[in-house]
Amino acid sequence: MILLLLVGLIYQTTATLVTINTTLGLVEGYNLNGVNRFLGIPYAQPPIGNLRFKPPVAKESWNNVLYANEYGNCCAQKSYGDEDCLSLNIFAPPLNHSSNLVPVMVFIHGGVFVKGCSSKLGLQGDYYANTTNTIMVTINYRLGVLGFLYTGDGDNYIQGNIGLMDQMMALHWIKSNIRYFGGDPARVTILGQSAGAMSVAAHVTSSYSYDNDYFQRAIVESDPFTMQFYTKSEAVEDAETFSNIVGCSLDDIACYQALPISTIIAAEWKTYEIPWEPSDALYALPYQPMIDETIITDQPLTLFNSGDFLRVPIIFGNVQNESTEFVYTILNSGYFNASDFTWYEYETFVGVFFAEIFDQVLDQYPAPSEGNSATVTEQLATDYIFMCPTRNAALGASQYVEEVYLYNFRHHPTTDPFDRYPAACEKPGIVCHSSELSFVFHSINFAPGFSWTSAEWKLSSSMMQAWANFAHGLAPWDRLNSTSLHSMDFNLPSPQVVSAYNSKRCDFWDSMGYDY
């Protein structure tokens, strides 16, 4: 069975079994190509039955050997997955009891909090373990309604932020057990992309992180900081929509626990079909972390600027065209035409979202006098939603933490191992959301039929080494400060530190603010 695994198919080598004794019992994984792999280790009890819609419960110990040679279930989502999904995967260098423990990186996947999985092709941590002497851990957490529905406070209500609690439970498991796999629980870096980055920002700014010492460093990749977390009242409004569809009252958790999973997933996606106000499009994540006033007390962007966060070294960053995929998807949804988005439609768009600063925005992002306005729309969305608030968060954090680093990924890949880009992202020079992931994980190694140029291999190696250096306590590149505005430009022919990237537009948004 082991040799049928993807990596086994690629490398065609023989796996040897590896057994580890943890605090909960024996775990058997395997070593393949010099990497110890332990897949599908449960870190919590299955969240089913009366544990559905409840905070995670720590995994009970086991008597027999736990076989960890296959990925666990993806969490329930549209078209696939299962509720019994709270597991993690460990990719580690061979255990050497005579050597020191090695740093640990814990990756939280993205997927707008409704999709994604730790076993996704390309997210394997083998290359880190093999080339940087670092352990990579990837985790699953509950998604959508099952992970982020909030109906109110009290025993009969669903309390929200359950998916974040899953992530915390995984971090707790790692802190308690990773030393048995050769990892140092005092040198843990959490990293995430997109919704995973929002999760990382939530953990760094959560008071729970102050108390538990689950991690000592963080990497935030492509966080849409202006897509703000809901307040309780806003979360309840979405819960009412879902509750009306399934026929449960807000204060009857038992009703939700009794629903077939197919009913829950179908109703979850039906809520996306409810007509939204156009101005709500920037906040169209019905199921996401919320300000519950306990785990999350305010918007992460606010907390980074006020100093109310766990003061650990942080990397923040973006890709060049974060919003292209989303803007073109909206413009091609039937209401507009992305190939002929007129100046009038563009100015209407600006008026809907930025009525209070309409003239200032048009001065900064004028519509072309003729031709398509889709490109300027994408640039505006990228700057406002991703790039400029990310720089703002990083500059805010740098007032309180010496080690803050900023990057931009600006290379258009010749091929995408994740193979999921829309046509707009295939245009030369466009660097879409998630483009950096395959370079961070060196995913080309796990994607038969895809190839990179030699320069791209070097770019990926540079990114991986920078991430690993950071996890090992070394400076990945020059630190950010308000004077130099240094950031790393990951691009070809080679990465280089630049100063004041995109400063004119980001200075504009810093002066206008990020709450429209």
pLDDT tens for 229-261 read 999 999 999 999 999 999 999 999 999 999 999
Task: Say what the pLDDT of residue 284 is.
Answer: 65
Residue 432 lies in a domain: yes
- pLDDT at site 277: 65
Q: What is the mean pLDDT of residues 290-311?
A: 97
Mean of pLDDT values over 464-479: 97
pLDDT in tens, 24-39: 999 999 999 999 999 9
**Any domain includes 328:** yes
In this prediction the pTM is 0.94
Known catalytic residue at 454: no
Give pLDDT, residue 447: 72
What is the model's pLDDT at position 274? Answer: 65
Range of the domain at 491: 74-335+372-512
- 314's CB contacts (< 8 A; 6+ apart) are 204, 217, 218, 219, 220, 394, 397, 401, 403, 404, 405
Task: Please check whether residue 422 lies inside any domain of the structure.
Answer: yes
Residues 6 or more apart whose CB falls under 8 angstroms from that of 399 comprise 305, 307
Whole-angstrom CA distances from 199 to 29, 206, 400, 472 are: 28, 10, 21, 22
Three-state SS at 352:
helix
455-459 mean pLDDT: 95
According to the model, what pLDDT value does residue 203 have? Answer: 98
- Give the pLDDT score at 427: 87
51 in a domain, yes or no?
no
- Residue-wise pLDDT for 185-194, tens only, equals 999 999 999 9
- What is the arithmetic mean of pLDDT over 291-299? 96
- Which pLDDT band, with edges at 50, 70 and 90, does 419 fall under? low
Higher pLDDT among residues 281 and 243, named by residue = 243
- The amino acid that residue 436 corresponds to is E
Q: Can you give the pLDDT at residue 430? A: 92
Nearest to 437 by CA among 164, 107, 37: 107
Report residue 441's pLDDT band, with 50, 70 and 90 as the boundaries.
very high
- Mean pLDDT rounded to a whole number for the chain: 92
Asked if residue 453 belongs to a domain, the reply is yes
| Antiparallel, parallel or unpaired: β 26-32 and 35-42 | antiparallel
Q: Where residue 371 falls among pLDDT bands split at 50, 70, 90?
A: confident
Question: Which CATH number covers residue 407?
Answer: 3.40.50.1820
Task: Count up the domains in the chain and report the number.
Answer: 1
> Where residue 418 falls among pLDDT bands split at 50, 70, 90?
low
Q: What pLDDT is attached to residue 143?
A: 98
What's residue 4's pLDDT? 28
Query: In the predicted model, is pLDDT for residue 63 greater than 70?
Result: yes
Question: What contacts 247, CB < 8 A, 6 or more positions away?
Answer: 255
Residue 364: inside a domain: no
* pLDDT at residue number 433: 92
Render the burial of 77-100: b for 16+ CB within 10 Å, e for the rest.
beeebebebbbbbbbbbeeeeeee
pLDDT score, position 440: 95
pLDDT band at 426; cut points 50, 70, 90: confident
Task: Evaluate whether residue 23 is within a structural domain.
Answer: no
pLDDT band of residue 415 (cuts 50, 70, 90) is confident
Q: What is the mean pLDDT of residues 285-313?
A: 95
| Overall average pLDDT of the 261-284 stretch | 79
Q: What is the pLDDT of residue 421?
A: 60
Contact 409, 439 (CB under 8 A): yes
Average pLDDT for residues 314-325, to the nearest whole number?
A: 95
Residue 294 domain flag: yes
Q: What is the pLDDT of residue 15?
A: 87
For 45-50, what is the mean pLDDT?
97
Q: What average pLDDT does this structure show over 386-399? A: 98
Catalytic residue among 194, 199, 206, 323: 194
- Of 80-84, 172-176, 346-350, minimum mean pLDDT range: 346-350
Helices (H), 365-484: 374-381, 388-398, 437-440, 454-471
